[in-house]
Amino acid sequence: MPTACPRCRTPLAHPWPAACPSCGEPLAPLPSVRTSPRSAYLTGRLLDGKVSEFPLAVRTTLGRHPANTLRLADREVSKEHACIERAGNTYVLKDMGSSNGTYVNGRRVREHRLKDGDEVTLGNSRLTFRSGDLLTSTGSPGVTVLASAQAAPAFLAQIDQPVVDDEFRPGDQLSDANALRADYEKLRIAHEFHRQVGLERDQKSLLDKILKASFDLLAADHGVLFLVDSKGELVPEAVRHRKEQEEEVVVSDTVLKRVLETRQAVLTADAVLDSRFSGSESIVAQGIRSAMAVPLLAKGELKGVLFLDTRERTNAFSEKDLKILSGIASQAAIALENAELARKIETEAVTRAELSRFLSPAVADMVVRGQVELLRQGRLAEVSVLFADIRGFTTIAEGESPQDTVSMLNAFFTAMADVVFRHEGNLDKFIGDCVMAVWGPPSPHGDDPARALRAALEMQAQVEALNEMRESRGQKPLGVGIGVNSGMAVVGYMGSADRHEFTAIGDCVNIASRLCGIAKAGEVLAADNTVSKAGADFQVEALPVQTVKGKEKTVQPYRVLGLRSSTSTGATG
């Protein structure tokens, strides 16, 4: 049964379409299989008269005894005649004390580093070494995907990955014992899987536990978990063996492609190698096996493929085993999706925490959700800028220990930042003992000048609260001067390629800093344009026109005394 469109559930047949023919829903393309280059092998005519090829593992033994990797039924060959071992990207042939010797290109050798085309002679058997394309592993070690021309699997069974039938049926819908057994089997698999996998969030550990659960439920010798990477390719990410010694797992890409195209579980009797090996006793001992491959589907999206094989005997797996592995794959896909979601939440939490140090919590949430585009290139925008600076900081610091000074600054900065965030401003930076805050992009409000003035008044109220605590401990009170100005500024990321910050630069920023510089302890000074834009809710007092440093034009400052409405946040007298 073909898979269905995730939107309208219309069945989709092979070949996989780009969009659903019924509802037009775009469909993600099938992942491709990353096929490894062909590994090194021996080729030659054995005593049975057949020309064969034999792939080389990490260590390949040659001899007359059946326990050898490549058995040579030749009286002139010793029981344990020679071995070929992989050394980096080369292979080394070693004689194992044979009676009649080991020859390479007609010369007897005890040890020889093989080159492509070398002729190896053991007794009456002549074999040619072919280097193939020596692998540089990019995924899990010990996994080779052989191309179709090298693998001709025989498909014994194929079942659909369940699309809807993932839930238990109510008791009144169970009409026979077989249905009850089927639901019990689902429950057993889910229980065993969750018992072993649990709430694992580390991907490597999760993949290992998925394979372990598969081995506990099924008699497999080797297992590989392929995942779809960011490029849409299917790559091996985890490998498991029943026995401890490493052994290369050879997977046919025909099997993988069949799973990808149909999104169905596949059971194979797979000789893995070329069909010419069917009569070779050594190849039968090494290669023929039963194998299963099932897709990992979560909400219609292919996460990967789970592959198991056994070399105990042909047809070792049954259709029941395939259904069990499909159940495991279904649970594994959910576990992988949950782990991915958990990692995403953790990443978002870290990002939100970092952003919240400088942006208001509301803006930080918008940035994490991708709803606000922080500008990579500066643009001109309307902003309201606030500077709050401690008066006589040097004198205060001289009378306190360094630890007390740091504690005082941390308490001051924390109180000021909390006020900025409560009024949905952005904490731009700390400059020595001064705080800079900006209202405007990336989340501007129509009343940003009023928000900045309310924040300034509340900051002075917070300083008074801090001073009460300081005076109770016999420490000098803090005096803070605040300057506020509104106008146009360049807003965006500023800095080097390695370190930059989202800030505002311009004439209006400089004026706010100058007003802060002339404000006395406990004062809030604002320029005329901020006062006029903030509205009539504020009690202000005009001060003499000021000529500020670096400005030819004079500035009309106002002392902000408080709010006219006692119900507004930050009211002070």
Cβ atoms of 378 and 476 closer than 8 Å:
no
Q: Which two tokens stand for residue 12?
A: 């989709």
CA angle 219/222/227 to nearest 5° reads: 115
Q: What is the DSSP letter of 16?
A: P
Distance CA 274, CA 53 (A): 8
pLDDT of residue 508: 93
Q: What is the DSSP letter of 140?
A: S
Distance CA 38, CA 144 (A): 8
Q: Where are the alpha helices (DSSP H) in 369-401?
A: 393-398
pLDDT of residue 273: 39
- 3-class DSSP assignment, residue 359: coil
Cβ atoms of 325 and 308 closer than 8 Å:
yes
Q: What is the pTM of this model?
A: 0.46
Distance CA 420, CA 436 (A): 10
- Using the structure block, give the residue that is written with the tokens 């049964």: 1
Q: Which two tokens stand for residue 541?
A: 């007092």
Distance CA 250, CA 145 (A): 6
Q: What is the DSSP letter of 386?
A: E
Distance CA 98, CA 58 (A): 21
- DSSP notation for 402-445: HHHHHHHHHHHHHHHHHHHHHTT-EEEEEETTEEEEEESTTS--
Q: Which two tokens stand for residue 375?
A: 């500008």
pLDDT of residue 277: 32
pLDDT of residue 70: 84
Report the 3 state secondary structure along 77-96. Answer: CCCCCEEEEEECCEEEEEEC
- 3-class DSSP assignment, residue 471: helix
Distance CA 321, CA 465 (A): 71
Distance CA 293, CA 156 (A): 12
Q: What are phi and psi of 31, to 5 degrees?
A: -65, 150
pLDDT by residue for the chain (573 residues), tens digit each? 345 676 666 666 555 666 777 777 766 666 665 554 557 888 886 555 556 678 888 889 998 887 888 888 778 889 899 999 988 778 999 999 998 999 999 899 999 999 988 999 988 888 889 887 543 334 455 665 554 433 333 333 444 333 334 455 666 666 667 767 766 766 776 677 777 676 667 788 888 888 888 888 788 888 899 998 878 888 888 888 887 665 667 776 777 888 888 888 888 764 443 343 344 343 333 444 678 889 998 887 888 999 988 866 555 777 778 888 888 888 888 888 888 888 787 777 777 776 666 666 656 666 666 655 555 567 899 999 999 999 999 888 888 899 999 999 999 999 999 999 999 998 888 999 999 999 998 888 999 999 999 999 999 999 999 999 999 998 999 999 999 999 999 988 777 766 767 789 999 999 999 999 999 999 999 999 999 999 999 999 999 998 877 667 889 999 999 998 654 444 333
Cβ atoms of 218 and 308 closer than 8 Å:
yes
pLDDT of residue 386: 97
Cβ atoms of 206 and 197 closer than 8 Å:
yes
C-alpha of 542 from chain center? 58
- DSSP notation for 359-403: S-HHHHHHHHTT-S---SS-EEEEEEEEEEEEETHHHHHHTS-HH
